[in-house]
Amino acid sequence: MNGNGGIISYGAYIPRLRLQRSAIFAANAWFAGGLKGLAKGERAIANWDEDSVTMAVEAARDCLTGIDRSTVTALSLASTTHPFADRLNSGIVKEALTLADGIASLDVAGSQRAGTSSLIQALNAAANGGTQLCVASELRKARPASEGELVQGDAAAALLVGAGDPIARFIGSHSVTLDFVDHFRASGADFDYSWESRWIRDEGYTKILGGALAEALKSLAVDPAKIDRLLIPISARGVPEGLAKKLGVRPEAVADTLAQKVGDSGVAHPLLMLVAALEQAKPGETIMLVGFGQGCDALLFETTQAIARLPKRDGVSGALARGKADDNYMRFLFHRGLLDLERGMRAEADQKQPGTTLFRNRKTVLGLVGGRCTKTGTVQFPRSEVSVNPNDRAIGTQEDYPLADKQARIVTYTADSLTYSPAPPQYYGTIDFEGGGRMFAEFTDVDDDAVEVGRPMKMMFRIKAVDETRDFVKYFWKAVPVEQPGAKEKSDG
């Protein structure tokens, strides 16, 4: 199928902590010694207050750097790990990004190629006008001492697509759908059930994926030797290289799968690899992207001169640079809900979130939108009818003032070891925003030596608490250090 338009911008998010696979194996070697061959490198792991929605928000914010958000007319969130089965997960992302109420929004799921399939739909829809934000995010659970625990990773990627002057022009796509059950997860189940890896390689990767790619090259009339970057998001050793050789694609065109630094991020991984490729690509390059899951998607792009003019964003390289090695396997299990620790009475507080107040205050809570007095210029959070300016308590002069993208600094802080936190001690304090505005905020992704008065902070969308009685996730914004000293050092966990 041929499309129009292309990619306008890109962004990515990879959680800060990188669990060392050697630590996973060391804890399980007594039982699963055969996992030793997978115990190299590291995998990205989300913090306790992250999920596929929060990661999606951060990838989308990166993608929208320097972009007028009012131009976004549609939003899709692809994942097989949406936190809610019956609540529009992409709607939460929309609120966090403070996008217009009039946009269309859609959750996409059901397959590991949900990200590439939703991207194809958006690219084809670009012919009718409009700009769509395509986000893919994944945070999967794996049974302890399984291969999945070692090879998987958590991440999100976002692409803004539309007509106009794209950085990568969409040439076309080819899709094949087959009910090839290499793995599955029933509704409500925590873990995937996978079939034998050799059968998946021979029947799935070699025959189905290899055949679909050959058909794609033919239908899109592209010379495989002219492909500059082939993106195959499969972490099984030698599979991308073997397919490339069979198809006639140059070996140097096969992209790094990010398996050793991130792990397989499921639905997000094809888009994550595409973001990594676009970061490095020069104008005039031909890029083929592959999505595999109950069939195959193949998308073809050609980069344009506009890619050299795109303002810098964090992307995959920035997210990788922020990483911090971690070897606390027990903490990982606890944060994944796979280890039941005694949390004490302080963890028993009722976390019920009334839907009425959340709806009325959704801009404040989900979008971190404060108020600015149009008379005095005083910024405050939260917004109210009465200005907090001590010299002029003006009434009814407030206008919306988004604070999520404003940098802040620590004014006061506390490290609290008495209150319950899944990652003690709990840090919180008062922060001042550049340009005005002050709020009391929790801190996250912090080290003991990284918190001090005057420290630059940025805001990130995170889980505030979980109402375990009603299975409801409460989201809010937390402050995170702008710079991470000793990012490559091991954590003290």
235-294 pLDDT, tens digit per residue, is 888 999 999 999 999 999 999 999 999 999 999 999 999 999 999 999 999 999 999 999
Is 122 a member of any domain? yes
Is 489 a member of any domain? no
Is 302 a member of any domain? yes
CATH number of domain containing 411: 2.40.50
Residue type, 326: D
pLDDT confidence bin for 493, thresholds 50/70/90 = very low
Mean pLDDT score of the chain: 93
- Nearest alpha carbon to residue 139 among 130, 148, 127: 148
Q: What is the pLDDT of residue 130?
A: 83
Per the CB < 8 A criterion, the answer to whether 387 and 378 are in contact is yes
Q: What is the pLDDT of residue 305?
A: 96
Q: What is the pLDDT of residue 4?
A: 64
Report the percentage of the chain scoring pLDDT > 90: 88
pLDDT surpasses 60 at 489:
no
Mean pLDDT, rounded, for 62-88: 96
CATH number of domain containing 317: 3.40.47.10
pLDDT digits (tens, 9 = 90+) for 233-244: 998 889 999 999
The single residue listed with the structure tokens 């022009």 is 169
Is 490 a member of any domain? no
Quick one: 151 and 222 in the same domain? yes
Quick one: 262 and 362 in the same domain? no
Is 392 a member of any domain? yes
Tokens read off for 100: 């217009």
pLDDT confidence bin for 83, thresholds 50/70/90 = very high
Quick one: 305 and 200 in the same domain? yes
pTM of the model: 0.94
> In the chain, how many domains are there?
3
Is 487 a member of any domain? no
* Local structure of 195: helix, strand or coil: coil
pLDDT surpasses 90 at 492:
no
pLDDT digits (tens, 9 = 90+) for 17-69: 999 999 999 999 999 999 999 999 999 999 999 999 999 999 999 999 999 99
Quick one: 398 and 409 in the same domain? no
The DSSP secondary structure of 329-348, one letter per residue, reads HHHHHHHTT-S-----GGGG
Quick one: 56 and 148 in the same domain? yes
Q: What is the pLDDT of residue 353?
A: 87
Quick one: 218 and 160 in the same domain? yes
Q: Return the higher-pLDDT residue of 485 and 88.
A: 88
Quick one: 246 and 385 in the same domain? no
Mean pLDDT, rounded, for 114-127: 93
pLDDT confidence bin for 449, thresholds 50/70/90 = confident
Quick one: 364 and 295 in the same domain? no
pLDDT confidence bin for 352, thresholds 50/70/90 = confident
Alpha carbon 456 to its chain's center? 23
Quick one: 417 and 389 in the same domain? no
Quick one: 186 and 213 in the same domain? yes
The DSSP secondary structure of 265-328, one letter per residue, reads -GGGHHHHHHHHHHHH--TT-EEEEEEESSEEEEEEEEE-GGGGGSPP--HHHHHHHT-EEE--
Is 92 a member of any domain? yes
Quick one: 57 and 137 in the same domain? yes
pLDDT digits (tens, 9 = 90+) for 175-205: 999 999 999 999 989 999 999 888 999 999 9
Is 491 a member of any domain? no
Quick one: 133 and 168 in the same domain? yes
The residue segments making up the domain with residue 393 are 369-402
User: Strand pairing partners for 63?
Assistant: none
Q: CA–CA separation, 279 vs 253, rounded Å?
A: 15
